[in-house]
Amino acid sequence: MIAAYAPATVSNVACGFDVLGFALDEPGDIVGAALAEAPGAVIAGIHGDHGRLSWEPRRNTAAMAAQALLDRLGTRQGVALHVHKGLPLASGVGSSGASAVAAVVAVNELLGRPASREVLLACAMEGERAGCGAPHPDNVAPALYGGFVLARPADPPDIVRLPVPAGLACAVLHPHLEVETGAARALLGDTVPLGAAVQQWGNLGALVAALFTGDLALLSRSLDDVIVEPKRAGLVPGLAAVKAAAREAGALGCSLSGSGPSIFALAADAAVAARVGEAMRVAYAQAGGGVDADLWISPVGTSGARVVAGLAEEA
């Protein structure tokens, strides 16, 4: 049994819908992979999902990604996967993407590392296609590579790893709601007013420049989504109050994480992130309609997915 860990990710990062994301250090998913006799990828166990994820390989993001890798490699080797969910489902922190990435990293290691990271990314994106119908790279790319990753749409996407300013940290509030990514995407329509587009691409360009220069004031001004978040805000009661509380407590910015319901805030360091997270928690307790929430504080995680020890007994 070879196991790999892939972290939670914050995609979109306010102004970078479908093209920008960053990784946390924790929490994350672990997938163990073992050789199996019958060809193809199968699910041999799922833990931590309260029985909700499908074991059917064509409906499981980890198995779909692993199968895509086997197909790319042209092998009839069989692999059995044990999925350990550390991430809640439909939570907006890249849960399906983390399982897909951990699966391809584990299977690649099991087979002697025949595939490049570019190939692993393409295969993990096939897992995302199984998850929500759209193979968007903005969760799987940072889960695989770590740090901030810009994925310029193309086939294959241009993957641009961006610098992480020293100390940059994140608070993520996870309301105990579920938002299906497909449903959240269905709210968006397919046209954007030109003025909003100008604002958004200005924000995204400035955000990228701010990461390169370490200009946190510019980063803070850039963390604003004028196109997508307004259409999804109704999915997360209390969002406006949480955003206001985060900024008030010193966050550089605060927005929906991915398609929600999680809400992330970036902060200059871990101490500020902890203070911001507490303010978000308090605001959500008042404005969130009585829904419980988890709070995670993490540095922006620069390691990405990695092989880990510790699942051997369950093989």
**Residue with smallest beta-carbon separation from ligand HSE:** 258
Nearest to residue 10, comparing CAs of 300, 315, 302?
300
Instruction: Tell me how far, at minimum, the Cβ of 204 lies from ligand HSE, in Å.
Output: 13
Instruction: Tell me how far, at minimum, the Cβ of 309 lies from ligand HSE, in Å.
Output: 29
Tokens at residue 39, please? Answer: 């060809």
DSSP 77-136: -EEEEEEE--S-TTSSS-HHHHHHHHHHHHHHHHTTS-S-HHHHHHHHHHHHHHHHSS--
Q: Is residue 138 a contact point for ligand HSE (CB under 6 A)?
A: yes
**Which 8-47 positions form the footprint of ligand HSE (CB under 6 A)?**
11-12, 17-18
Tokens at residue 273, please? Answer: 């992130």
Instruction: Tell me how far, at minimum, the Cβ of 97 lies from ligand HSE, in Å.
Output: 7
- For residues 164 and 178, what is the distance between their CA atoms, to the nearest angstrom? 30
Closer to ligand HSE at the Cβ: 136 or 243? 136
User: Strand 40-47 relative to strand 78-84: parallel, antiparallel, unpaired?
Assistant: parallel
Closer to ligand HSE at the Cβ: 162 or 216? 162
Instruction: Tell me how far, at minimum, the Cβ of 7 lies from ligand HSE, in Å.
Output: 14
Nearest to residue 259, comparing CAs of 202, 198, 181, 192?
181
Instruction: Tell me how far, at minimum, the Cβ of 243 lies from ligand HSE, in Å.
Output: 17
Closer to ligand HSE at the Cβ: 25 or 138? 138
Among 139, 200, 262, 298, binds ligand HSE (CB under 6 A): 139
Vertex 202 angle, CA 166 and 179, to 5°: 75
Q: Is residue 174 a contact point for ligand HSE (CB under 6 A)?
A: no
Instruction: Tell me how far, at minimum, the Cβ of 35 lies from ligand HSE, in Å.
Output: 32
Q: Is residue 259 a contact point for ligand HSE (CB under 6 A)?
A: yes
Tell me which DSSP letter residue 233 carries: G
| Cβ-Cβ contacts under 8 Å for 72 (sequence gap 6 or more) | 115, 119, 122, 123
Instruction: Tell me how far, at minimum, the Cβ of 41 lies from ligand HSE, in Å.
Output: 23
Q: Which stretch binds ligand HSE (CB under 6 A): 28-36, 51-59, 177-185, 242-250?
A: 177-185
Q: Which stretch binds ligand HSE (CB under 6 A): 35-43, 50-58, 179-187, 242-250?
A: 179-187
Q: Is residue 185 a contact point for ligand HSE (CB under 6 A)?
A: yes
Contact between 185 and 259 under an 8 Å Cβ cutoff? The reply is yes
| Cβ-Cβ contacts under 8 Å for 132 (sequence gap 6 or more) | 96, 180, 181, 182, 185
- State the residues that interact with ligand HSE by CB under 6 A: 11-12, 17-18, 136, 138-139, 181, 184-185, 258-259
